[in-house]
Amino acid sequence: MKTKSDPRHQKRRMIVKNLFSCLFYPQQPQFAETKEILAKKNEIDQEILASAPEWPIERINKIDLAILRLAIFELLFKKTAPPKVVIDEAVELAKEFGSENSPSFVNGVLGTVFNKFYSPENE
């Protein structure tokens, strides 16, 4: 069973924090993963828009946006963890850093992405 001290969880926490800070201070990202995510930002943001069309990127809570970018990157490009693990981790990060509504919003967006890319008819 995973814990908050799990090294993979800690790494995700640091990446989310770095992505969040890059939203306010466009600096050189601290982590290679952050650079990779930012290189795919336009593609990731298109998936966010497609999965939450009523929420323009500018209106999404900044921490939720950082969490979604990391999770969608892991789901669509990195693919080293099972999709349900990625979604569960993102929801846990949303509980830790986000607002009261963040976990359900993050879960909903990622559930839509999961259904689009991992449903049986797409395989």
- The residue with tokens 């814990």 is 3
Domain spans of the chain, in order of start: 7-122
**DSSP at 40:** T
Instruction: Look at residue 121 in the predicted model and tell me its pLDDT.
Output: 60
> CA-to-CA distance for 102 and 120, rounded, in angstroms?
28
Q: How far is CA 123 from CA 55, 71, 80, 118, in A?
A: 28, 20, 18, 7
**DSSP at 102:** H
Instruction: Specify the CATH number for 7-122; select among 1.10.940.10, 3.40.50.360, 2.40.50.140, 3.40.50.1700.
Output: 1.10.940.10
Chunked into runs of 10 residues, the chain (123 residues) has average pLDDT values of 77 95 85 93 97 95 98 96 96 96 97 90 53
Instruction: Look at residue 1 in the predicted model and tell me its pLDDT.
Output: 39
> CA-to-CA distance for 57 and 66, rounded, in angstroms?
11
Instruction: Look at residue 122 in the predicted model and tell me its pLDDT.
Output: 53
Residues 46-79: pLDDT tens digits?
A: 999 999 999 999 999 999 999 999 999 999 999 9
Q: What mean pLDDT is reported for the chain?
A: 92
* pTM of the entire predicted model: 0.92
Instruction: Look at residue 6 in the predicted model and tell me its pLDDT.
Output: 86
